[in-house]
Amino acid sequence: MKLKLFTPVLLLSLTVFGVNAADPVQAQTETVKAHKVKSKSARNEALVVKFYTKAFIKRDDIQEVSERFLKEDYIQHNVFVGTGRDNFIPFARNFLEANPDLKFEIKHVITDGDLVILYHHMYTPDSGNPGQMVMDMFRVEGRKIAEHWTVQQQIPDSIPHDNGVF
Protein backbone atom coordinates (compact mmCIF):
# COMPACT_ATOMS: atom_id res chain seq x y z
CA MET A 1 0.00 0.00 0.00
CA LYS A 2 2.78 2.44 0.85
CA LEU A 3 4.46 1.83 -2.50
CA LYS A 4 1.27 2.81 -4.34
CA LEU A 5 1.18 6.14 -2.46
CA PHE A 6 4.90 6.72 -2.90
CA THR A 7 4.92 6.33 -6.70
CA PRO A 8 2.45 9.18 -7.48
CA VAL A 9 4.30 11.46 -5.05
CA LEU A 10 7.64 10.66 -6.72
CA LEU A 11 6.18 11.21 -10.19
CA LEU A 12 4.61 14.49 -9.08
CA SER A 13 7.91 15.62 -7.52
CA LEU A 14 9.88 14.83 -10.66
CA THR A 15 7.31 16.63 -12.81
CA VAL A 16 7.36 19.71 -10.56
CA PHE A 17 11.15 19.88 -10.94
CA GLY A 18 10.92 19.74 -14.73
CA VAL A 19 11.81 16.10 -15.29
CA ASN A 20 9.54 13.96 -17.42
CA ALA A 21 8.91 11.13 -14.98
CA ALA A 22 7.76 8.86 -17.79
CA ASP A 23 11.22 9.13 -19.38
CA PRO A 24 13.77 7.42 -17.09
CA VAL A 25 16.66 8.39 -19.41
CA GLN A 26 15.80 12.10 -19.03
CA ALA A 27 15.47 11.66 -15.27
CA GLN A 28 18.92 10.03 -15.10
CA THR A 29 20.44 12.70 -17.38
CA GLU A 30 19.04 15.51 -15.21
CA THR A 31 20.46 13.83 -12.10
CA VAL A 32 23.91 13.53 -13.72
CA LYS A 33 23.80 17.21 -14.80
CA ALA A 34 22.94 18.27 -11.27
CA HIS A 35 25.97 16.40 -9.89
CA LYS A 36 28.35 18.00 -12.42
CA VAL A 37 27.47 21.55 -11.38
CA LYS A 38 30.01 22.90 -8.88
CA SER A 39 29.63 26.10 -6.97
CA LYS A 40 32.18 28.85 -7.39
CA SER A 41 33.34 28.19 -3.82
CA ALA A 42 33.84 24.49 -4.55
CA ARG A 43 35.83 25.26 -7.73
CA ASN A 44 38.00 27.76 -5.86
CA GLU A 45 38.61 25.30 -3.03
CA ALA A 46 39.60 22.55 -5.46
CA LEU A 47 41.96 24.93 -7.29
CA VAL A 48 43.75 26.06 -4.11
CA VAL A 49 44.05 22.54 -2.68
CA LYS A 50 45.39 21.28 -6.01
CA PHE A 51 47.94 24.13 -6.17
CA TYR A 52 49.09 23.57 -2.59
CA THR A 53 49.29 19.80 -3.03
CA LYS A 54 51.31 20.04 -6.23
CA ALA A 55 53.64 22.81 -5.01
CA PHE A 56 54.32 21.78 -1.41
CA ILE A 57 53.15 18.24 -0.71
CA LYS A 58 54.17 16.55 -3.98
CA ARG A 59 56.87 19.14 -4.77
CA ASP A 60 56.13 19.22 -8.49
CA ASP A 61 58.11 21.66 -10.63
CA ILE A 62 57.44 25.01 -8.94
CA GLN A 63 57.80 26.99 -12.19
CA GLU A 64 55.11 24.93 -13.96
CA VAL A 65 52.80 24.84 -10.93
CA SER A 66 53.10 28.58 -10.37
CA GLU A 67 52.46 29.45 -14.02
CA ARG A 68 49.41 27.20 -14.03
CA PHE A 69 47.83 28.36 -10.76
CA LEU A 70 49.09 31.88 -9.92
CA LYS A 71 48.24 35.11 -11.70
CA GLU A 72 51.31 36.89 -13.01
CA ASP A 73 50.57 39.92 -10.81
CA TYR A 74 49.77 37.70 -7.80
CA ILE A 75 49.59 39.89 -4.66
CA GLN A 76 51.68 38.61 -1.76
CA HIS A 77 51.16 39.54 1.91
CA ASN A 78 53.68 37.07 3.37
CA VAL A 79 56.40 39.24 4.92
CA PHE A 80 59.18 37.00 3.54
CA VAL A 81 58.15 36.96 -0.13
CA GLY A 82 58.00 39.70 -2.74
CA THR A 83 54.76 40.27 -4.60
CA GLY A 84 54.19 38.78 -8.04
CA ARG A 85 54.56 35.28 -9.41
CA ASP A 86 58.16 35.98 -10.48
CA ASN A 87 59.11 36.57 -6.84
CA PHE A 88 57.20 33.58 -5.50
CA ILE A 89 58.90 31.04 -7.77
CA PRO A 90 62.52 31.50 -6.56
CA PHE A 91 61.37 31.89 -2.95
CA ALA A 92 59.39 28.62 -3.01
CA ARG A 93 62.13 26.79 -4.93
CA ASN A 94 64.83 27.89 -2.45
CA PHE A 95 62.63 27.20 0.59
CA LEU A 96 61.78 23.67 -0.54
CA GLU A 97 65.36 22.87 -1.57
CA ALA A 98 66.68 24.14 1.80
CA ASN A 99 64.12 21.97 3.65
CA PRO A 100 63.98 18.64 1.78
CA ASP A 101 62.47 16.73 4.74
CA LEU A 102 59.79 19.33 5.55
CA LYS A 103 56.26 17.93 5.37
CA PHE A 104 52.94 19.70 4.93
CA GLU A 105 49.61 18.22 6.03
CA ILE A 106 46.39 20.06 5.32
CA LYS A 107 44.14 19.71 8.38
CA HIS A 108 41.20 21.98 7.50
CA VAL A 109 39.94 23.88 4.46
CA ILE A 110 37.49 26.76 4.81
CA THR A 111 36.01 28.40 1.73
CA ASP A 112 33.83 31.46 1.27
CA GLY A 113 33.34 32.51 -2.33
CA ASP A 114 36.69 33.67 -3.67
CA LEU A 115 38.56 33.14 -0.37
CA VAL A 116 40.06 29.77 0.60
CA ILE A 117 41.84 29.14 3.90
CA LEU A 118 44.15 26.17 4.42
CA TYR A 119 44.98 25.34 8.04
CA HIS A 120 47.93 22.99 7.95
CA HIS A 121 50.79 21.42 9.85
CA MET A 122 54.32 22.15 8.64
CA TYR A 123 56.94 19.93 10.28
CA THR A 124 60.02 17.80 9.85
CA PRO A 125 59.38 14.18 10.93
CA ASP A 126 61.69 12.71 13.56
CA SER A 127 63.25 16.12 14.29
CA GLY A 128 61.93 16.39 17.85
CA ASN A 129 60.37 19.71 16.84
CA PRO A 130 56.55 19.70 16.74
CA GLY A 131 56.62 22.14 13.82
CA GLN A 132 54.30 25.00 13.03
CA MET A 133 50.60 25.50 12.57
CA VAL A 134 49.98 27.61 9.50
CA MET A 135 46.96 29.36 8.02
CA ASP A 136 47.29 30.35 4.39
CA MET A 137 44.48 32.39 2.88
CA PHE A 138 44.16 32.66 -0.88
CA ARG A 139 41.92 34.84 -3.01
CA VAL A 140 40.95 33.36 -6.37
CA GLU A 141 40.16 35.48 -9.41
CA GLY A 142 39.43 34.18 -12.88
CA ARG A 143 40.35 30.58 -11.99
CA LYS A 144 43.81 31.57 -10.76
CA ILE A 145 45.18 32.50 -7.35
CA ALA A 146 45.36 36.30 -7.20
CA GLU A 147 46.36 36.98 -3.57
CA HIS A 148 47.89 35.25 -0.55
CA TRP A 149 48.24 35.82 3.21
CA THR A 150 50.09 33.69 5.78
CA VAL A 151 49.82 33.42 9.56
CA GLN A 152 52.01 30.87 11.30
CA GLN A 153 52.88 29.93 14.85
CA GLN A 154 55.40 27.55 16.35
CA ILE A 155 53.70 24.65 18.13
CA PRO A 156 54.94 24.61 21.73
CA ASP A 157 56.25 21.41 23.32
CA SER A 158 53.35 21.50 25.78
CA ILE A 159 49.98 23.23 25.89
CA PRO A 160 47.65 23.78 28.87
CA HIS A 161 44.84 21.54 27.54
CA ASP A 162 44.24 18.24 25.77
CA ASN A 163 42.46 19.72 22.74
CA GLY A 164 45.45 19.75 20.40
CA VAL A 165 46.17 22.57 17.96
CA PHE A 166 44.36 21.13 14.95
Contacts of 86 (CB under 8 A, 6+ apart): 72
- Whether residue 161 lies inside any domain: the answer is no
Are 99 and 141 within one domain? Answer: yes
Distance CA 103, CA 150 (A): 17
Give the burial class of 1: count Cβ atoms within 10 A of its Cβ; 0-12 exposed, 13-18 middle, 19 or more buried. Answer: exposed
Between 43 and 2, name the one with better pLDDT. Answer: 43
Q: Does the pLDDT of residue 65 top 90, yes or no? A: yes
Are 99 and 135 within one domain? Answer: yes
- Summary mean pLDDT of the chain: 86
Q: Considering its fold, how many domains does the chain have in total?
A: 2
Give the H or E element holding residue 76. strand 70-76
Q: Does the pLDDT of residue 150 top 90, yes or no? A: yes
Q: Residue 38: pLDDT band by 50, 70, 90 thresholds?
A: confident
Q: Does the pLDDT of residue 69 top 90, yes or no? A: yes
| Residue 138: CB atoms within 10 Å | 25
What are 103-138's pLDDT values in tens digits?
Answer: 999 999 999 999 999 999 999 999 999 999 999 999
- Which structural domain range is residue 32 located in? 2-36
Q: The whole model's pTM is what?
A: 0.76
Are 147 and 110 within one domain? Answer: yes
Whether residue 151 contacts residue 142, with contact meaning beta carbons closer than 8 Å, is answered with no
Q: Residue 29: pLDDT band by 50, 70, 90 thresholds?
A: low
- Rounded to 5°, the CA angle 81-120-103 comes to 80
pLDDT at 118: 98
Distance CA 166, CA 163 (A): 8
Give the burial class of 101: count Cβ atoms within 10 A of its Cβ; 0-12 exposed, 13-18 middle, 19 or more buried. Answer: exposed
What are 74-112's pLDDT values in tens digits?
Answer: 999 999 999 999 999 999 999 999 999 999 999 999 999
Question: CATH number of the domain that 49 lies in?
Answer: 3.10.450.50
